[in-house]
Amino acid sequence: MSEDDRLTREGAKGLILDSSALYCGKDLPTEHELIISPGVALELERHGMKERLELLLATRIKVLSPDKTALAKVMEVSRKSGDSRRLSATDKEILALALDLGYELVTDDYSVQNVASILRIPCRGLDQRGISRVIVWESRCVGCGKRFPAETEECDICGSSTKTTIKKSQKRSAAK
Ligand SMILES: [Zn+2]
């Protein structure tokens, strides 16, 4: 660990950014170390933001890959809450990075915020404060309406596809 890394870890906390945090053209916070995942870098390139990405990488932002253990934990929790289907591989990466580094996550994606909340990862939206409720999802058949665990994609009664809906929503317990 370099002197700089040590200072960052002990001093001002870093932020993990999702793609939307970089799309919106807002000024990025200056007082934090800024981290993105390889998937976020790829999404920016795909959306024609290669030049912006290169500029950011040259100046302020680091790309880090998440730790496998943290990624496995994110997978497990998102499967349980039913968010797994709503999360992209990139979403899971940034959650795992935030979990691993203990950094705050910046995202407007509701499912990312939901899983962050369950894992007690500090999380803020671009325009709003963090969520105050935790949602548990379930799947419902679009044909016959039968309910399933959130991961079920096809109805075993009528063969129709399912959509995820809110099973329950509960007030988030105060974070430590
Ligand atoms: Zn059905």
Residue-level pLDDT at 176: 38
**C-alpha of residue 161 to centroid of ligand 1, in Å:** 8
Q: Do both 14 and 80 map to the same domain?
A: yes
Q: How far apart are CA 110 and CA 123, in angstroms?
A: 11
On the question of pLDDT at 172 being above 50, the answer is yes
DSSP output for 58-91: HHTEEE-PPPHHHHHHHHHHHHHHT-GGG--HHH
**Neighbour count for residue 146 (Cβ, 10 Å):** 15
**C-alpha of residue 113 to centroid of ligand 1, in Å:** 30
Beta bridge partners of 134: 170
pLDDT digits 0-9 by tens, 123-158: 887 765 555 667 788 899 999 999 999 889 999 999
Q: Do both 79 and 152 map to the same domain?
A: no
Looking at residue 79, which CATH number applies to its domain? 3.40.50.1010
Residue 162 structural domain: 133-175
**C-alpha of residue 78 to centroid of ligand 1, in Å:** 24
**C-alpha of residue 165 to centroid of ligand 1, in Å:** 15
pLDDT digits 0-9 by tens, 156-166: 999 999 998 88
Q: Do both 112 and 161 map to the same domain?
A: no
Q: Take residue 19 and report the two structure tokens written for it.
A: 């793609």
pLDDT digits 0-9 by tens, 43-90: 988 888 888 888 888 888 999 999 999 999 999 999 998 899 889 999
Q: Do both 40 and 97 map to the same domain?
A: yes
Q: Which of 101, 124, 147 finishes a domain?
A: 124
Q: In residues, how long is the chain? A: 176
If pLDDT is split at 50, 70 and 90, which confidence band does 103 have? very high
Q: Do both 117 and 152 map to the same domain?
A: no
**C-alpha of residue 164 to centroid of ligand 1, in Å:** 14
Q: Do both 110 and 91 map to the same domain?
A: yes
**C-alpha of residue 32 to centroid of ligand 1, in Å:** 49
Mean pLDDT (whole number) for 101-106: 91
80 conformational bin, left if phi > 0, alpha if psi -120 to 50, beta if neither: alpha
**C-alpha of residue 139 to centroid of ligand 1, in Å:** 11
**C-alpha of residue 115 to centroid of ligand 1, in Å:** 28
Q: How far apart are CA 106 and CA 109, in angstroms?
A: 9
Q: Do both 68 and 94 map to the same domain?
A: yes
Task: Count CA atoms within 13 Å of residue 139 on its CB side.
Answer: 23
Beta bridge partners of 148: 139
Q: Do both 95 and 143 map to the same domain?
A: no
Mean pLDDT (whole number) for 80-105: 93
**C-alpha of residue 85 to centroid of ligand 1, in Å:** 19
Give the distance from CA 137 to its chain's centroid: 16
Residue-level pLDDT at 173: 57
Q: What are phi and psi of 105, to 5 degrees?
A: -105, 135
Query: How many domains is the chain partitioned into structurally?
Result: 2
**C-alpha of residue 75 to centroid of ligand 1, in Å:** 27
Q: Do both 119 and 139 map to the same domain?
A: no
Q: How far apart are CA 134 and CA 122, in angstroms?
A: 14
Q: Do both 48 and 72 map to the same domain?
A: yes
**C-alpha of residue 79 to centroid of ligand 1, in Å:** 22
Q: Do both 14 and 58 map to the same domain?
A: yes
Q: Do both 17 and 47 map to the same domain?
A: yes
pLDDT digits 0-9 by tens, 107-117: 888 889 999 99
Which H/E stretch holds residue 41? helix 38-46
Q: What is the pTM of this model?
A: 0.72
pLDDT digits 0-9 by tens, 9-39: 444 478 999 987 887 566 677 778 899 999 9
Q: Take residue 8 and report the two structure tokens written for it.
A: 């960052």
